[in-house]
Amino acid sequence: MTRGVCSRAMAACVTPETLRKSANPVVRAIGYAFYDWTREMSTIKRIAAWSGLFLQGWAIWAATLRSLGGHSAWMTGLATNLTIFGAYLLGYGITNATLTSELVRKTELEADQAAARRIQETLIPREVEPVPGYVVATHYRPFREIGGDYFDVIRVTGERTLIVVADVAGKGMPAALLSANIQALVRSRTHGTIDLVDIAQQIGAHVNAYTPAERYATAAFVLLEHVTGAITYVNAGHNPPMISAQGVSFLLEATGVPLGLFPESLYAARTAILPLGGTLLLYTDGLTDAIAGDAPERAVCEAMTGAPAAIVEKLKACAPDIVFNLTESFYHDRSHEPNIPALLELMKVRYTGAGPEGLLLCKDKALAKKVLAYHRVRLPRFVVSHQARPVRGLQRFKYPAFVKPVGEESSDGIAKASFVRTAEEAMERVRYIHQKFACDVLIEEYIEGRELYLSVLGNRRLEHRRTEVGSIAQVFGPGVVHQHAQALRITPP
């Protein structure tokens, strides 16, 4: 979906026809020659089909040798020929009857699938209701005659639209039946107040209770405010929808597990903004499966935002006096964060925030702490548990302590369990982070108090002239901040 000028798309899988056309003709011919065409039959039919083929083969062999495989005194040449001919006709009849029965069965199955396809096409919206201020585009194409992908665009009360995309595990008729069930469940819960968390939890509980254990579905629920472009979403383990605007895109990551995996699953609703001129893309794994390479989602991002050269062209076109750099990742890869200020420096564009060297150093919390300690900056005591050489014990460490990944950002890997009071709790958390994030772990002494952020404008070196300690309310004025805390005011030269 595009706001102002954008479009929303739903992508599907590569078709078998495409795969057959792309295959090597020789390989395809060999595959057909050695294909076991009886594998879809019942056991009795398979035995009958192979028995008929064996009889025909034996008759051809016997006719070639003019012998029944042994000498028989009472059988004349005419009797031998009649026996061979009768065996061949019997084998031919058995094989023909088996194949005819299978042909009838498959014809009936194809007729049922065609009818199911027509029904599914009526359930999948061909044309969605217009959304004021937006352009909506949809596309659906299943891998087989019918599939388990589902999407819907529902105008709800007020100036809001609910967009749902889901992908049922598996292919064919079973997946299609479950996707139709999910559609009915979604539609039944779009009247009145829309609570995405409640919708996800109820559908997940229903799928878990009334479907086999191996059946589940991923889904993304997006609620769009028409006027503001505000988005509220719940992502139940689905391929993350993408928002792209002005050459930059970001993902709406998962906020819970797939629907139906557990009887009671917890989901979280998060918010985002679809800017004017931006694009929201919702899709299933068919889109990424059809893209060659190791990073299909990155390829989709590049297609939506343009190459990195678009950033350079944008900067050249607008010639900014200063860029407020809020970048946390590039193409959803946080390791590229330092490359943005490096690019700005190459283009001699002034920007806010840390430079590439500082950002690169801060990617490793333990290394940053070692540099600060070298310059005699007071720090909490800390120790690093390397993934290759985990710490054996932390009995001598001072507690309480805080345990977190060395390289993760945005509070990834930080939870209530990160605050530990004993060596046993610390070791348990260390093992969890090693296994979950596959990275080194930082264990540091916990310092009680509040965390303060200090913004500095300019590149001059700060000299400590004067400090004033007081409450936040005293510094910023009464009524602005109600929680009491300590603040440090630094006056630059």
Predicted pLDDT at 467: 46
Average pLDDT of the chain is: 77
Is a pLDDT exceeding 70 seen at residue 152? yes
Task: Count Cβ atoms below 10 Å from residue 136 Cβ, excluding itself.
Answer: 20
Mean pLDDT, residues 377-383 taken together: 89
Q: Where are the alpha helices (DSSP H) in 151-195?
A: 172-188
Rounded Cα distance, 273 and 277, in Å? 12
User: pLDDT digit string (tens) for 64-97?
Assistant: 776 555 554 445 577 777 888 888 899 888 888 8
Mean pLDDT, residues 286-303 taken together: 72
User: pLDDT digit string (tens) for 328-345?
Assistant: 776 656 777 888 889 899
Is a pLDDT exceeding 60 seen at residue 368? yes
Predicted pLDDT at 111: 79
Is a pLDDT exceeding 50 seen at residue 490? no
Are 146 and 176 within 8 A, CB to CB? yes
Structural tokens at position 111: 């007729």
Second-level CATH architecture of 364-445: 2-Layer Sandwich (3.30)
Nearest one of 149, 146, 141, 143 to 111, comparing CA atoms? 146
Beta strands 217-225 and 248-251 are: unpaired
Is a pLDDT exceeding 60 seen at residue 135? yes
Is a pLDDT exceeding 60 seen at residue 485? no
Predicted pLDDT at 24: 62
The rounded percent of the chain whose pLDDT value lies above 90 is: 14
Contacts of residue 486, defined as CB under 8 A and 6 or more positions apart, other chains included, come to: 449, 450, 469, 470, 471
Predicted pLDDT at 33: 59
Predicted pLDDT at 306: 59
- For residue 270, give the H/E element and its range: strand 270-273
Helix, strand, or coil here: 164?
Answer: strand
Contacts of residue 108, defined as CB under 8 A and 6 or more positions apart, other chains included, come to: none
> In the structure, what pLDDT confidence band is assigned to residue 442 with cuts at 50, 70 and 90?
very high
Q: Which of 85-89, 249-253, 341-345, 447-451 has the lowest mean pLDDT?
A: 447-451
Nearest one of 221, 225, 244, 246 to 234, comparing CA atoms? 221
Q: Which of 120-129, 179-188, 338-347, 422-431 has the lowest mean pLDDT?
A: 120-129
Predicted pLDDT at 372: 87
Higher pLDDT among residues 450 and 237, named by residue: 237
The rounded percent of the chain whose pLDDT value lies above 70 is: 76
Higher pLDDT among residues 238 and 317, named by residue: 238
- Residue 45 C-alpha from the chain's centroid: 42
Mean pLDDT, residues 355-380 taken together: 87
Rounded Cα distance, 397 and 443, in Å? 9
Nearest one of 109, 114, 211 to 169, comparing CA atoms? 211
Is a pLDDT exceeding 50 seen at residue 470? no
Highest mean pLDDT among 69-78, 124-133, 158-167, 290-299: 158-167
Radius of gyration of the chain (CA): 33
> In the structure, what pLDDT confidence band is assigned to residue 5 with cuts at 50, 70 and 90?
very low
Predicted pLDDT at 332: 59
Predicted pLDDT at 413: 83
- For residue 45, give the H/E element and its range: helix 43-65
Predicted pLDDT at 456: 67
Highest mean pLDDT among 9-13, 175-179, 206-210: 206-210
User: pLDDT digit string (tens) for 26-52?
Assistant: 766 666 555 666 777 788 888 888 888
Is a pLDDT exceeding 80 seen at residue 173? no
Predicted pLDDT at 70: 53
Second-level CATH architecture of 2-13+124-306: 4-Layer Sandwich (3.60)
Contacts of residue 253, defined as CB under 8 A and 6 or more positions apart, other chains included, come to: 235, 240
> In the structure, what pLDDT confidence band is assigned to residue 488 with cuts at 50, 70 and 90?
very low
Residue type, 219: A
Interhelix angle 172-188/196-210, nearest 10 degrees:
140
Are 160 and 194 within 8 A, CB to CB? yes
pTM: 0.50
Predicted pLDDT at 476: 37
Q: Which of 14-28, 47-61, 433-447 has the lowest mean pLDDT?
A: 14-28
What sign results for the dihedral spanned by CA atoms 293, 298, 304, 306?
negative
Rounded Cα distance, 371 and 381, in Å? 14
Mean pLDDT, residues 390-403 taken together: 85
> In the structure, what pLDDT confidence band is assigned to residue 403 with cuts at 50, 70 and 90?
very high
Q: Which of 126-135, 172-181, 301-310, 407-416 has the lowest mean pLDDT?
A: 301-310
Structural tokens at position 90: 């019997």
Predicted pLDDT at 14: 30
User: pLDDT digit string (tens) for 194-232?
Assistant: 899 999 999 999 988 888 877 889 999 999 999 899 999
